[in-house]
Structure 1
Amino acid sequence: MNNKKYNIVILNHHAGSPDVGGGGRHFDIAKALSEMGHKVAVLASSYNNSKDEYYCDEEIMRHKFNDNLEFIRIRTTPPYKDNIGRFRNYYDYMKKASQFDDFGFVPEIVIASSVHPFSWPAGFEISKRHKAKFIVEVRDLWPLSMYEDFSGIMRKGVFTFFEGLERKYYKLADAIITTAPFAYEYMEEKFNIDKRKVFYIPHGIDLEEFDKNKVKDLNNLESGLEDVLKNNSCITYTGSFSKSEGLPTFVESAKYLKDLDLKFVIVGSGPEEDTMKDIIEAESLENVSIFGIQSKDKIPIILENSKILFCGLKERKAFYYGISKNKFYDYMASKKPIIFASSVRESLIDKSVSGKTIKPNDPLNLANTIREIYKDIDTVGKEYGQNGREYVEKNHTNMRITEQFLNVIDYVSKTSN
């Protein structure tokens, strides 16, 4: 790593930041880079899709966090609740971000992140205008990650379109950053991309912030959730109730554990909620409780007051190339044993010895695994928890992740155009 200071633009449609009640990967990285003396502008949308509202009425919303870091939000249209509206909003982001130039500096490095791949054309246009280095970040293997969401002719059309974007911008990129450890195989096999320009950089965590939040009093939570955690031993899931997470299997496993003094706590929101509630009703599961989505600062309190943590992933083509879930690092930071129901390659839970990885879609096997860990919660469970904490401290702090980003920036800055 050299001592050069860079002018960096990061494109991420959904980038969170504290001024709008959020945060996340690019805020954390941008903040760390800015504190090192690099100038950073993050170009995002002012539309909050989870709440179906805009953060502001203006066309451009700007917020400076320090002398070197500014978040710039552009008003993208239309508001959306379906895939057609979503893609129209993404396309509008691409058009407006492509033309944006008021960064307060001349960009030297442009990082375009595929929350959706329409950021890539926009990032490339900015880099081309300023003769800046162009880095593609792949956080989702589009269109592979959407394969199950489309069918027939539509699936073929979606794949053809997005594979065209992949082929073009992977080749144009000076470097590719991916959060999936084996994504280089997909890029090499399908598009003949030189794996030497593909860099795996997983997600990170602000341990100082996590530790500050985990010691807050339980009364910071809604009363029902507070009561369950305070008065029971709990196995807990936090996050999206999406079809990928294998939550119906988690709920079904509870019917085999009615004899245990153990509550299943599920915190979040998403399309699988009705499915889970149907299972709870059909099986008369009084040992399962579902709560709504909680703010990020409350997750450490919930994990701290749980005994075991659950995460699952259904079989999907995209998962063959590995994953990097933010949830893992929160879970490991909490020093609690983790059960991961997934067939993903080289599970991080196994690699860190922070719990057990089992096959998905098997409620009885999941129940037996829960029973086994719960029985030894004060010995084996404690050891799993300690292993996870040590692993995340060594490999997944925000500073460690930022250093890896800076290594890639140094690498592209030395390559010729």
Structure 2
Amino acid sequence: MSSSVPNIWYVAHYAGGPGIGRHSRGWYLARTWVKHGARATVIAANRHHMLDASQPSGPQQVEGVDYHFLPAPAYSTNGLMRVLNMFAFTAAFWASQRQLISLHGRPDVIIASSPHPFSFIATHRLARLLGARSIFEVRDLWPASITEIMNVSNRHPMIRLTAAVERFGYFHADAVVSLLPRTEEYMRSRGLTGDRWHYIPNGIVRDEPSDRPPGSPIFALIDEWRSKGLCIVSYTGALGVPNNVDRLIDAMALLKTRNPSVRALIVGRGDVEEQLKAMVASLGLSEQVRFFGQMPKSVARAILKHVDIGFIGLKPSPVFRFGISPNKIFDYMVSGLPIVSAIEAGNDIVAEAGCGISVPGAGPSEVAQALDRLACMTPAERDVLGSKGKCFVESKHDYELLGRTYLKITGWG
């Protein structure tokens, strides 16, 4: 250990941050660690699909947090180039170790954050060479997420390689941090021993700034709908197949006659965006459902403060038996929104917090019933549910608390 002040490297291939892109966990944790006297650097790829734009290779500061972007080739689909991007990032980390140490200091702790586990090979090797603590952070269970969601064979060479690296991480890491609450038994069956399993989920920051740009079309629409006494449901996030946003659209089709006062805002981008828009048009829902592209987080926070209900869904998958930790739920909670959750998983955050209605494994009719039930409540009744979620997330998922817990795992704190 180099000093009484820990130097932490958080190596996360897909890291984002304010003004950079989605997946800001590393930024929030690093900011908390620095606040408590540590030195911290987030190390990420300069090209990946979570970034708003490619970043120049090398060091930069992201709103007070040190970052270092490593070169990785561009990709546009989940094909060969994305796989090459993964391995290139891992290779770049290993090749850049002297430069990283020169610029950011000798690390006392190196955290390799998945979803893919390949970077752990390089981070663990360097940690052992430097006498640093090696931590394996697991956001998603690879390869289980691939085999169970995408129906890829366990015999596929890439799956076998991923499984071998996963086992290596569980067996060799000084600590394993899971974002999912029900993974300990699974990890122990694959090499984890002792008391090295820790649960640190995604989180929130209290009182983050929100921004309502003047003349913004989405806020003009919200104001128009509210002036008419309509109830507004919002989905903010990725528009991909797993997100099950089509379930919300089908439910809105049922509500068109059952409760015509309900409107839906879908805010985000993704692979199925055009398909969802076509679905809305074919169902004659252009007045009930409106789309807006991905917004800066400060604007998204302002949107959530001006709507009535938050919706989240995930397509059913066996891998969700290990639990979920979606940022979207926590964003809704900290905004004080009651939630309709159409997710079947090993944990039920909405039910645990008592902040809305869970309809696990539900079809459009059940989702429509849940939305209708919340829409028929008075604003005060919805506020009671929203307040429960806000209290829950602030007491259990504040990044200040999570960051301090992480420091204890590193050996400081």
Q: TM-score, normalised by structure 1?
A: 0.89
Secondary structure, counterpart of 1:42 in structure 2: strand
* Aligned twin of 2:193: 194
| CA shift for structure 1 position 9 | 1.2
Tell me, yes or no, if the aligned pair for 1:338 and 1:354 is still in contact at 8 Å: yes
- Closer/same/farther in 2, CA of residues 343 and 154 from structure 1, 3 Å limit: closer
| CA shift for structure 1 position 148 | 5.1
* AA of the residue aligned to 2:220: D
Q: Quick one: distance in 2 between partners of 1:19 and 1:379?
A: 35
Secondary structure, counterpart of 1:244 in structure 2: helix
Cα deviations by residue, 1:18-40 (Å, 9 ceiling, x for unpaired) = 46466711111111111221111
* Aligned twin of 2:134: 134
| CA shift for structure 1 position 4 | 4.7
Pairing of 1:233-244 with structure 2 (within 5 A)? 233-244=231-242
Q: List, as ranges, runs of 4+ consecutive aligned residues in structure 1 with deviation greater than 6 Å.
A: none
* Aligned twin of 1:314: 315
* Aligned twin of 1:332: 333
Secondary structure, counterpart of 2:346 in structure 1: coil
* AA of the residue aligned to 1:397: D
Secondary structure, counterpart of 2:328 in structure 1: helix
Q: Quick one: distance in 2 between partners of 1:27 and 1:361?
A: 35
* AA of the residue aligned to 2:222: L
* Aligned twin of 1:355: 356
Structure 1: gaps spanning 5 or more residues: none
Tell me, yes or no, if the aligned pair for 1:185 and 1:321 is still in contact at 8 Å: no
Tell me, yes or no, if the aligned pair for 1:147 and 1:155 is still in contact at 8 Å: no
| CA shift for structure 1 position 64 | 7.6
| CA shift for structure 1 position 108 | 1.3
| CA shift for structure 1 position 176 | 0.2
Q: Quick one: distance in 2 between partners of 1:335 and 1:306?
A: 10
- Closer/same/farther in 2, CA of residues 171 and 130 from structure 1, 3 Å limit: same
Aligned residues: 399
Q: Quick one: distance in 1 between partners of 2:233 and 2:194?
A: 40
| CA shift for structure 1 position 48 | 4.3
Tell me, yes or no, if the aligned pair for 2:20 and 2:51 is still in contact at 8 Å: no
* Aligned twin of 2:370: 369
- Closer/same/farther in 2, CA of residues 129 and 80 from structure 1, 3 Å limit: farther
| CA shift for structure 1 position 380 | 3.3
Segment drifting more, 246-255 vs 100-109:
100-109
Cα deviations by residue, 1:105-141 (Å, 9 ceiling, x for unpaired) = 2211111100321221121122022011100000011
Cα deviations by residue, 1:138-182 (Å, 9 ceiling, x for unpaired) = 001111112256456586333211111111111110100010001
| CA shift for structure 1 position 217 | 3.7
Secondary structure, counterpart of 2:315 in structure 1: coil
- Closer/same/farther in 2, CA of residues 239 and 162 from structure 1, 3 Å limit: same
- Closer/same/farther in 2, CA of residues 6 and 302 from structure 1, 3 Å limit: same
Secondary structure, counterpart of 2:156 in structure 1: helix
* Aligned twin of 2:270: 270
* Aligned twin of 2:219: 226
| CA shift for structure 1 position 338 | 0.3
Q: Quick one: distance in 1 between partners of 2:192 and 2:380?
A: 47
- Closer/same/farther in 2, CA of residues 361 and 22 from structure 1, 3 Å limit: closer
- Closer/same/farther in 2, CA of residues 220 and 409 from structure 1, 3 Å limit: farther
Segment drifting more, 13-22 vs 291-300:
13-22
- Closer/same/farther in 2, CA of residues 188 and 48 from structure 1, 3 Å limit: closer
Secondary structure, counterpart of 2:195 in structure 1: helix
Which of 87, 102, 115 is the aligned partner of 2:83?
A: 87
Q: Quick one: distance in 2 between partners of 1:52 and 1:20?
A: 6
Tell me, yes or no, if the aligned pair for 1:136 and 1:173 is still in contact at 8 Å: yes
| CA shift for structure 1 position 82 | 3.7
Q: Quick one: distance in 2 between partners of 1:169 and 1:92?
A: 19
Pairing of 1:383-398 with structure 2 (within 5 A)? 383-398=384-399
2:73 pairs with 1:77: yes
| CA shift for structure 1 position 54 | 2.7
Tell me, yes or no, if the aligned pair for 1:80 and 1:86 is still in contact at 8 Å: yes
Structure 2: gaps spanning 5 or more residues: 226-230
Q: Quick one: distance in 2 between partners of 1:53 and 1:329?
A: 25
Q: Quick one: distance in 2 between partners of 1:284 and 1:195?
A: 57
Segment drifting more, 35-44 vs 3-12:
3-12
- Closer/same/farther in 2, CA of residues 394 and 187 from structure 1, 3 Å limit: same
* Aligned twin of 2:61: 63
Q: Quick one: distance in 2 between partners of 1:296 and 1:245?
A: 19
- Closer/same/farther in 2, CA of residues 341 and 78 from structure 1, 3 Å limit: closer
Pairing of 1:2-401 with structure 2 (within 5 A)? 4-18=4-18, 20=20, 24-50=24-50, 54-56=54-56, 59-63=57-61, 70-99=66-95, 100-101=97-98, 102-103=100-101, 104-147=104-147, 150-151=150-151, 156-189=156-189, 191-194=190-193, 196-209=195-208, 212-213=209-210, 216-217=211-212, 219=214, 221=216, 223=217, 225-232=218-225, 233-258=231-256, 259-285=259-285, 286-401=287-402
Q: Quick one: distance in 1 between partners of 2:197 and 2:398?
A: 21
Secondary structure, counterpart of 1:193 in structure 2: coil
Q: Quick one: distance in 2 between partners of 1:265 and 1:155?
A: 42
Cα deviations by residue, 1:67-109 (Å, 9 ceiling, x for unpaired) = xx52111111244434210110110110110232333422111
Tell me, yes or no, if the aligned pair for 2:23 and 2:50 is still in contact at 8 Å: no
Cα deviations by residue, 1:48-77 (Å, 9 ceiling, x for unpaired) = 435685322xx43443865xx521111112
Tell me, yes or no, if the aligned pair for 2:212 and 2:299 is still in contact at 8 Å: no
Q: TM-score, normalised by structure 2?
A: 0.90
